[in-house]
Amino acid sequence: MTTFDLRPRALRSGEQRREDVEIELDPLVYAGQEYELRPDPARGLLTVTRASSGIVFELELDVSLHGPCFRCLTDAVLPLALRLREYQANDPGGDDELRTPYLADGRLDLSAWARDAIALALPDKILCRPDCAGLCAVCGRDLNAEPHEHSEEETDPRWAALRELQDQS
C-alpha cells in the first residue's frame, strides 16, 4: 500500500506542490479473472493544491492491464491513461461530497485511489482486439486464428425420441 504523507508538506492557501510518486498496485480480479497492472510500481504525478476552502488532489497515472481476453482467452493488454481529481474541504461537516475517502490522518492512500479509478475505467469486456471473434461454440477453437463454420448441425442423441415424434406428425 502506497500512501503520501501530507503532514510535513504544509501548504498555504494558493500554493501548489507537485511530486513524482511510485504507487504499488495489486493485481485486479475482474469477472473471476486476474489481471496484472504494469508497470508495478506505477509512476505517477501527484499535485496537491491548497485552496481557501480545502485541498485539491490531482493524480496522473499511465498503466496497462494484462490478462485474458473475455472472448478468446488469449493475452489482452488494455492501456489506461488516468487523470484523477479528489477534493477535501477544510470543514466538510456531514457532506460526503466534500470529503475524499482516500485521506485519513494526514495520509493520502494512493494505492486505493488508483485501484478504484482503474476499476471504474474498465470497459464491459476486456478484449485482445475490438473485432475479436472468440471461441467456436461447437469445437472450442479460436475463431481469430481459424475462422470456420460447422456444416452439420450436431444434435444431442437424447433428443432422438422427440425428433421421431416430430417426424410422425
Q: What is the pLDDT of residue 24?
A: 95
pLDDT at 30: 87
Q: Which residues contact 103 (CB under 8 A, 6 or more apart)?
A: 6, 57, 86, 88, 109
* Rounded CA separation 111/96 (Å): 21
Higher-scoring residue by pLDDT: 96, 63 = 63
> Quick one: average pLDDT of 67-71?
95
The mean pLDDT value for 36-63 works out to: 94
What 3-state DSSP class applies to 97? helix
**pLDDT band at residue 164, thresholds of 50, 70 and 90?**
confident
- Interior CA angle at 111 toward 107 and 117, to 5°? 115
Q: Is 80 exceeded by the pLDDT of residue 7? A: no
| pLDDT, tens only, 98-152 | 889 999 998 999 999 999 999 999 999 999 999 999 999 888 999 999 998 887 6
What are the residues whose beta carbons fall under 8 Å from the beta carbon of 69, sequence distance 6 or more? 75, 76, 126, 127, 128, 132
Answer yes or no: are the C-beta atoms of 82 and 113 closer than 8 Å.
no
Q: What mean pLDDT value characterizes the chain? A: 90
Q: Which grid coordinates belong to 19?
A: 511530486
- Domain residue ranges of the chain, discontinuous segments joined by +: 3-132, 133-169
Residue 154 has pLDDT above 70, yes or no: no
The residue whose grid cell reads 479528489 is: 86
Which own/partner contact pairs does 148-155 have at CB distance under 8 Å and 24+ positions apart?
A: none
Q: What is the pLDDT of residue 11?
A: 83
Contact 25, 114 (CB under 8 A): yes
pLDDT at 153: 65
Question: Between the CA atoms of 14, 5, 3 and 47, what dihedral angle is there, to the nearest 10 degrees?
Answer: 20
